[in-house]
Amino acid sequence: MSGRPIVLLTNAIHEEAEALLAPHAKLVTAPDTQPNTLRALVGNAHGIVVRAQLPEDILDYAPLLKGIVRHGVGLDFIPVGGATARGIPVANLPGVNAQAVAEYCFAALLQVRRPLALMNHILKYESWNDAREIAPGTTEISGTTLGVVGVGNVGRKLAEIGRLGFGMTVVGASRQPGRMPKGVEEVALDEVFTRSDAIVLACPLTDETRGLVNAKRLSLMKSHAVLINISRGPVVEIEALVEALRGNAIGGAVMDVFDTEPLPREDDLLRCPRLVLTPHVAAITSTSLRKMSIGAAEEMIRILSGKLPDNLVNPDCLAFRTII
């Protein structure tokens, strides 16, 4: 590789990670994440650190590319198949944000079960007594059943906190049967929906999980049960969820991910009852951002040095790989 390599950052990364990576490459931060912007910038790039959706054809514009690193875990932002066919290694950071996502899920569940923000608002702007009237209708999560769909790094952390921290019973379903952590009862997917008082979707988006939560599965849920989606938007059939919420078929839902992001202002979800929405932030805290940025920088340095990343997700690329 002649000259100083260029690394394209789809979004800014933590300043400590920039300082770590800067001696090894010239860093170019995209001014926005529009497909044409990324296509225009990737032509001279030897590496990409990914925090936003890449265009499916991005590799057609990247003749010098030697590696792609996901600033996080989910790989649906990256055309992994295309990278493999071109001999380009792709890396991610498994488990790096599991604690942040798990804490988000319990914060969301507690917000639904004991809405302190609502009580605070009513106490401040209406009356003490009106705020107190909410309390008798709230419930505790201790002794209830937590269902986890996708018991990977996030799912395992959820199970640990739920079981040991709150005294919950935890049931789970996974693509890889027989690998449940201690204390998690492995059950069929439909049984997760029938038994759980709260269900967290923590599975990756694949052809098998697209539309996994449909009208049939929502109909299996208890009338007070809560659905939390920190997976990807298309895992849930939105029309079915809106109908279930409007018809009081389930107790509530929390969504951090959506079919279209940012969520359009005219979207029906914004006017749906008993639905808490957040803008794809479950994995984002100052702590997790630093960890993800430094991890991504370290993996990119390995790639630029001619080494394989520690967390290579497409080993088949080696069959197509040219010498760096």
C-alpha to C-alpha distances, 194 to 44, 121, 198, 217, nearest whole angstrom = 53, 34, 10, 8
Annotated catalytic, 261? yes
Catalytic residue among 4, 126, 261, 271: 261
Catalytic residue among 46, 232, 237, 302: 232
The three-state secondary structure class of 67 is: strand
State the pairing for strand pair 226-229/6-9: unpaired
H/E stretch holding 132 reads: helix 128-132
Q: Name the DSSP letter for residue 143.
A: T
How many CA atoms lie less than 13 Å away from 261 in the CB half-sphere?
Answer: 17
Q: Hey, which residues does 26 pair with through a beta bridge? A: 6
Annotated catalytic, 132? no
- Angle 98-113/286-304 helices, nearest 10 degrees? 160
Annotated catalytic, 71? no
How many CA atoms lie less than 13 Å away from 177 in the CB half-sphere?
Answer: 3
The alpha carbon of residue 30 and the mean position of all alpha carbons in its chain are separated, in whole angstroms, by 22
- Under 8 Å CB-to-CB from 286, ≥6 apart: which residues? none
Question: Distance (Å, rounded) from C-alpha 87 to C-alpha 81?
Answer: 10
Catalytic residue among 280, 290, 298, 321: 280
Question: Distance (Å, rounded) from C-alpha 90 to C-alpha 68?
Answer: 5
Q: Hey, which residues does 8 pair with through a beta bridge? A: 28, 48
Give the residue numbers marked as catalytic: 232, 261, 280
